[in-house]
A and B are shown apart, each in its own frame.
Chain A
Amino acid sequence: MSAEVVLFWIMATTATAGGFGMLISKKSVHSALWLALTMISLALLYVAQGAAFLGVVQVVVYTGAVMMLFLFVLMIIGVDSAEVLVETLQGQRVLAILAAVGFAALLIGGFARSMPGEPIGLAQVDAASGGNVRAIAFSLFSDYVMIFELTAALLITATIGALVLAYRERLGEHRTQRDLSRDRFRSGEDPGPLPAPGTYARHNAVDTPALLPDGSLATNSVPSPMIARGTVRPIDVAAAEEVRQIAEGKDL
């Protein structure tokens, strides 16, 4: 029972759990986090297999950059977009699961035993170059330099592509502050700033709505994500009564 075996089984479990978690999470942010778990487990597995450099790169680049990129985009798009679990296409779910299971069976049954016997191990290769990093460096910059250059070009292209895609051309004239202000007054709505939360209330927390003179809630005094999340503090009925009395000029 070597250390590697133990490590493998623990990491394998977490990786698989992360995969399933990603698969069945309702909220997309949770899926991203489960995937991050899987990736870190895989990083450890890489290290266990003698690819130390790769393991570090996995954590730094893949988990640290790529997954963070995913999370940023999720936040741009909106974290509250929950997905309905009802499938619109007929038979899609059944067939998909069947296909996936079948595929797994084939892969495992057909190819899992394609590398029989003991692995040769990377000790010699590493020793010949003076370490894992050096071994990779020597190979990358001599045998695979063309691929390296091409990948570099690919990265540059990707950057430019992202710039192009994200670029939004200004379709109309630049609206100055004067324009915005004039529109605000012309629209007929209340041009004043939004009421601060907690006005006329005993509490000035952000999640407490302000009360209008007649005792009803001023919904525009609380940030709308809070309303969407349902975390607005309910008003105190006694306090509302008190407010009404004050408004009517009665002394407390």
Chain B
Amino acid sequence: MIVSAELVASEALVPQAATGIFEFSWLLVVLPLLSALVLILFGSQLGRFAPWLGVASMGVITVIGLLLFFAMISLPVSDRLIIDSIYEWFAVGDFVVPVALQLDPLSMSFVLLVTIVGALIHVYSVSYMSHDPNQSRFFAYMNFFVAAMLLLVLADNYLLLYVGWEGVGLASYLLIGFWQYKPSAAAAAKKAFIVNRVGDLGLALSVMVMVFVFGGVTFELIDTEIGSAPSWVPLVLGLLLLLAACGKSAQFPLQSWLLDAMEGPTPVSALIHAATMVTAGVYLVVRSADIYELSNFASNAVLVVALISLLMGAVIGAAKDDIKKVLAGSTMSQIGYMMVAAALGPIGLVFAIFHLITHGFFKSNMFLGAGSVMHALHDEVNMRRYGALRKVMLLTFLTFGAGYLAILGVPPFAGFFSKDSIVEAAFSESLFVGALTTLGAGLTGYYMTRLFVMTFFGKPRWPKDSHPHESGPLMTVPMILLALGSVFAGVVLYSGKRFEQWLEPVTGFIEPVLPFPKLWLEVMLISVVFLGAAIAVWQYRSVSATTPEKVSVLTKAARADLYGDKFNESVLMRPGWSLSESLARFDTHGVDGVVNAVGATAKFTSWRLRRLQTGYIRSYAMFVAVSMVVLMGILVLVLQA
């Protein structure tokens, strides 16, 4: 379904060696890794200073990232592909895998997103986790996560990317299960890791295919050689990479872990499960755009998966009472948008990253706001016990509101530009895809409004003695900064087609062609969103403090995550369980049975045979005589023959 439109002339990138400031790009990965190590080993000695070490390393990283960014801007466009080779990891014959970092507009965008948002969330966490006894461990894990994420986006070959991929998976597991003593948290961490693993399988297999077909795994090699590969290669690689992306980005069918991942502390949800890790899948697909371009089937598969996830996340989020789970469902849905854009090829790749960045701002903004609300109400997550919080927490209300408007796509907030561009690209592809994305936008309006209304409006439903109050400056300042991003990032990046021009050398860009005027699109979108919001406002003008039991089938299904868990259980878990059970049974009865039978047989035979030891000489003499007769008989027969 790739529309062949006019290809806007894109300047080809020529790889450059790292010089000057770019030679220090490895600090981006190593510094947080070092600080994580120090925090793990000496965290208890550092005491109250520990969180600040984590924040400090993030600060340094951000500065370095900005320096690199400005250095890159000062370069001519064709020079914006810098390979910083650190060392050669290993070489097997012709197959060489370097440890090298690739700095180009795509990776730089991610670097800025990860470092800026990450630094702000680290500052927020100092206050949020101040009562936790294990702060040093928390910040160690967070720093480790940032190191792994940066490695992921900066790697110049798929194998090094895989290292970062695994690293963020590990960090996610550690952070979801940070409060290990909670069985639900431990189970959620396990679930996340295991489902991730299924995706990792896809990535590993794709690396193997690459080595087999191309003899190497660097992006450069793949991008140049993919054109001349046999026709099955892009298809297989595309599907495998899609599997990997689904695992990491919680897209259908590997989405079941994301809602459970909300067991972790809220800063974790903000950083990992909203802004960065879950977007790694999108990064992978965009980075491998050359592969998807060559396989219609793979691109269509991505599109289908993305559309399903888009709608599924929205439906699930609309029925949940847990504020974090609503936001998680929303994340799943928004990533679906990004994947839709990525699947559409060069007409949408830029917008996928665009939306990724704006989403990073407004979603983490909303998560931090949710954390603020939870802190005020003693970690209560059920929205049915919120209500009228705008009167008590004005700052949180305003910042959250900025994120809310952004995600709805109200102009001129950030989401308006990014989401509308995606819908535009969708419509230029096909009316059906465009319609579905529009429906998603409406649903987004509905559930986000529901959340907003239940939390900040209406009558207070919280217990009288809670005394919710606004959070301290360490929490509110990051929220304000992120809110500013939610408000202005769109305008800044979109105006003058700045972002398209920035990213175009990497992904290519084709102007989408709409079958109808753009103004109609915008009007339609706004109306659909407004309609969804209005329905939500009317439905939740009064909120019951307890969850209603009599609800529609769809609501029941949505509350059960659209039976995703049930499906996993019955199709995957139970057969596996019964297989291992039968194997265990086979081992105890079968294998052990054989072994025991050998022992029992030996016992039985020896019991019988011992009767020969009568103790009487004459019976022994008889045995001798009988054997002699037999042997001699044989001898005589042989001699005569």
Direct contact of A and B (CB under 8 A): yes
Q: Give me the interface of A with B, judged by CB distance under 8 Å.
A: 89, 92, 95-96, 99-100, 102-103, 106, 109-110
Taking the complex as formed, is B616 at the interface, i.e. its CB lies under 8 A from any CB of chain A? yes
A102-B633, A110-B632, A110-B636 are contacts. A92–B625 as well, Cβ < 8 Å? Answer: no
Whether the pair A95, B622 counts as a contact (CB closer than 8 A) is: yes
Measured between beta carbons, the chain B residues less than 8 angstroms from A92 are 618-619, 622
CA–CA, A96 to B622, complex, Å? 6
User: What's the minimum C-beta distance from A46 to chain B, rounded to whole angstroms?
Assistant: 27
A89-B614, A89-B616 are contacts. A99–B622 as well, Cβ < 8 Å? Answer: yes
User: What's the minimum C-beta distance from A150 to chain B, rounded to whole angstroms?
Assistant: 27
CA–CA, A106 to B639, complex, Å? 13
Measured between beta carbons, the chain A residues less than 8 angstroms from B626 are 95, 99
Measured between beta carbons, the chain A residues less than 8 angstroms from B633 are 102, 106
B640 — nearest CB in chain A belongs to which residue?
A110
Measured between beta carbons, the chain B residues less than 8 angstroms from A106 are 629, 632-633, 636
CA–CA, A7 to B622, complex, Å? 34
Contacting A at CB under 8 A, from B593-641, are 614, 616, 618-619, 622, 625-626, 628-629, 632-633, 635-636, 639
10 contacting pairs across A/B (C-beta < 8 A):
A95-B622, A95-B626, A99-B625, A102-B633, A103-B625, A103-B628, A106-B629, A110-B632, A110-B635, A110-B639
Q: Give me the interface of B with A, judged by CB distance under 8 Å.
A: 614, 616, 618-619, 622, 625-626, 628-629, 632-633, 635-636, 639
Query: 7 closest A-B pairs (Cβ-Cβ)?
Result: A99-B625, A110-B636, A102-B629, A99-B626, A106-B632, A103-B629, A96-B622
CA–CA, A99 to B614, complex, Å? 19
CA–CA, A231 to B376, complex, Å? 125
CA–CA, A109 to B629, complex, Å? 12
CA–CA, A140 to B629, complex, Å? 35
Measured between beta carbons, the chain B residues less than 8 angstroms from A109 are 636
Q: In the complex, given contacts A89-B619, A99-B622, A103-B629, what are 12 additional A-B residue pairs having Cβ atoms less than 8 angstroms apart?
A: A89-B614, A89-B618, A95-B626, A96-B622, A96-B625, A99-B625, A99-B626, A102-B633, A103-B625, A103-B632, A106-B629, A106-B633
Measured between beta carbons, the chain A residues less than 8 angstroms from B622 are 92, 95-96, 99
Please count the residue pairs between chain A and chain B whose beta carbons lie under 8 angstroms apart in the complex. 32
User: What's the minimum C-beta distance from A109 to chain B, rounded to whole angstroms?
Assistant: 7
CA–CA, A110 to B629, complex, Å? 12
CA–CA, A89 to B619, complex, Å? 8
CA–CA, A145 to B130, complex, Å? 108
Measured between beta carbons, the chain B residues less than 8 angstroms from A110 are 632, 635-636, 639
Whether the pair A99, B619 counts as a contact (CB closer than 8 A) is: no
A101 — nearest CB in chain B belongs to which residue?
B629
Measured between beta carbons, the chain B residues less than 8 angstroms from A99 are 622, 625-626, 629
CA–CA, A109 to B635, complex, Å? 12
A107 — nearest CB in chain B belongs to which residue?
B632
CA–CA, A99 to B639, complex, Å? 21
Measured between beta carbons, the chain A residues less than 8 angstroms from B629 are 99, 102-103, 106
User: What's the minimum C-beta distance from A112 to chain B, rounded to whole angstroms?
Assistant: 12
CA–CA, A39 to B616, complex, Å? 28
CA–CA, A103 to B618, complex, Å? 16
User: What's the minimum C-beta distance from A83 to chain B, rounded to whole angstroms?
Assistant: 12
Task: Find the residue from A89, A92, A99, A110 having the highest chain B CB count within 10 A.
Answer: A99
CA–CA, A25 to B327, complex, Å? 111
B637 — nearest CB in chain A belongs to which residue?
A110
Measured between beta carbons, the chain B residues less than 8 angstroms from A100 are 625
A109 — nearest CB in chain B belongs to which residue?
B636
CA–CA, A120 to B475, complex, Å? 128
Measured between beta carbons, the chain A residues less than 8 angstroms from B619 are 89, 92
Measured between beta carbons, the chain B residues less than 8 angstroms from A103 are 625, 628-629, 632
Measured between beta carbons, the chain A residues less than 8 angstroms from B635 are 110
CA–CA, A99 to B630, complex, Å? 9
CA–CA, A103 to B624, complex, Å? 11
Measured between beta carbons, the chain A residues less than 8 angstroms from B639 are 110
CA–CA, A171 to B639, complex, Å? 61
CA–CA, A178 to B619, complex, Å? 51
User: What's the minimum C-beta distance from B330 to chain A, rounded to whole angstroms?
Assistant: 90
Measured between beta carbons, the chain A residues less than 8 angstroms from B636 are 106, 109-110
CA–CA, A110 to B625, complex, Å? 16
CA–CA, A95 to B627, complex, Å? 12
User: What's the minimum C-beta distance from A23 to chain B, rounded to whole angstroms?
Assistant: 13
Measured between beta carbons, the chain A residues less than 8 angstroms from B632 are 103, 106, 110
User: What's the minimum C-beta distance from A99 to chain B, rounded to whole angstroms?
Assistant: 4
User: What's the minimum C-beta distance from A107 to chain B, rounded to whole angstroms?
Assistant: 8
Measured between beta carbons, the chain B residues less than 8 angstroms from A96 are 618, 622, 625
User: What's the minimum C-beta distance from B551 to chain A, rounded to whole angstroms?
Assistant: 86
Measured between beta carbons, the chain B residues less than 8 angstroms from A102 are 629, 633
CA–CA, A102 to B629, complex, Å? 6
User: What's the minimum C-beta distance from A190 to chain B, rounded to whole angstroms?
Assistant: 45
User: What's the minimum C-beta distance from B633 to chain A, rounded to whole angstroms?
Assistant: 6
CA–CA, A247 to B635, complex, Å? 84
CA–CA, A217 to B420, complex, Å? 141
CA–CA, A102 to B616, complex, Å? 22
User: What's the minimum C-beta distance from A114 to chain B, rounded to whole angstroms?
Assistant: 11
User: What's the minimum C-beta distance from B617 to chain A, rounded to whole angstroms?
Assistant: 11
User: What's the minimum C-beta distance from A101 to chain B, rounded to whole angstroms?
Assistant: 9
User: What's the minimum C-beta distance from B534 to chain A, rounded to whole angstroms?
Assistant: 104
A100 — nearest CB in chain B belongs to which residue?
B625
User: What's the minimum C-beta distance from A183 to chain B, rounded to whole angstroms?
Assistant: 39
CA–CA, A221 to B636, complex, Å? 66
